[in-house]
């Protein structure tokens, strides 16, 4: 991990200091990331930053569901609970 001081985006806007984190993903996840970045015209860093910002704002129940921390036998019930929680938050 390293801290990037006073990053400047392509439009010349300054950002608060950001922390750069390396990740390890499997080839299937890499292909999915490439598909998203090409479709959205975004960099990999932008996509991952936005995903992590969004993920960090989610309640623990949703984070746990996304990370697969619930037994598979409860999968259907968890999906319904997560969707209800997301609807409630809108």
**Both 69 and 50 in a single domain?**
no
**Both 68 and 47 in a single domain?**
no
Cα separation, 54 vs 35, in Å, equals 19
String of b and e for 44-80 (b: at least 16 CB within 10 Å)?
A: eeeebeeeeeeeeebeeebeebeeeebeeeeeeebee
Higher pLDDT, 42 or 62: 42
**Both 40 and 52 in a single domain?**
yes
Q: Give percent above pLDDT 70 in the chain.
A: 81
Total count of domains within the chain: 2
Checking if the pLDDT of 9 tops 80, the result is no
Cα separation, 38 vs 30, in Å, equals 12
* 4 domain residue, yes or no: no
**Both 64 and 88 in a single domain?**
yes
- Per-chain mean pLDDT for the chain: 81
**Residue 15 — very low, low, confident or very high, per pLDDT cuts 50/70/90?**
low
End-to-end CA separation in angstroms for the chain:
34
**Both 50 and 71 in a single domain?**
no
Range of the domain at 88: 59-90
**Both 51 and 64 in a single domain?**
no
Higher pLDDT, 19 or 8: 19
């Amino acid at each position: 991990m390293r801290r990037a001081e006073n990053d400047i985006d392509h439009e010349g806007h300054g950002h608060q200091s950001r922390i750069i984190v390396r990740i390890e993903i499997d080839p299937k996840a890499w292909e999915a990331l490439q598909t998203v970045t090409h479709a959205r015209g975004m960099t990999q860093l932008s996509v991952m930053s936005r995903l992590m910002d969004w993920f960090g704002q989610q309640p623990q129940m949703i984070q746990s569901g996304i990370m697969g921390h619930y037994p598979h036998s409860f999968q259907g019930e968890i999906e319904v609970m997560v969707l209800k929680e997301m609807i409630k938050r809108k």
